[in-house]
Structure 1
């Protein structure tokens, strides 16, 4: 509750010298300090510069905002963030499941193909059947 404005709380102004210190702090920011966020910047400014400033107040200054945005982009590797929609995530999961199912079904088909080749081989060699005899349709159940 101490972060809320209270009547007796003194506000510190961001002067040119303080602004330069904050920009310098942002430029030195490393991932070891954690992700560069507004609350993280507030805490670091308070601990390093002994200034109690709000992130909104700091980011109102163009130099601070520009340094903040540039450093965040640098720390993120310059990659734009991609926001996935819930439906997109579900579709990606469905695609993954279907790809796994395709792999399994291809293995089953391959097994059937091997079995078919073995049956053909055995029918020709051991029983003396011709290819034409093997191609004959099955008899009807009623003809029996």
Structure 2
């Protein structure tokens, strides 16, 4: 017969995993750009075919990925969305709402719950954990 106090069971119970910090809007943009396999210069080229405004587009793309910066209006986010797949409504939620109202976003690629496909390989998005999509888990397993 096994005898133990409630205190010994409580101490044997593993602690819950630490909470992940909330996703920041600039992190979301960087993850989506990287999932598309693009550099800042490639994004600028897609945003602005004119060489004269390409450096301006690169500065904008870089600024929007700068820690602590967020776009106040949708126009710059829509310009980025013309260069690579991202969801402007997810960006707005991350930028404007408290963390408890943020959508689920994969910490590996930036796919959100509402995305139907992940990256250029067009893999359907589903979730293995609250912050990891199946595509990123498969990529981690393949890399190991």
Instruction: Report the TM-score, using the length of structure 2 for normalisation.
Output: 0.19
Q: Comparing both chains, which one has the higher relative contact order based on Cα–Cα distances under 8 Å and sequence gaps of 6 or more?
A: 2
Bigger strand fraction = 2
Question: Which structure: larger Rg?
Answer: 1
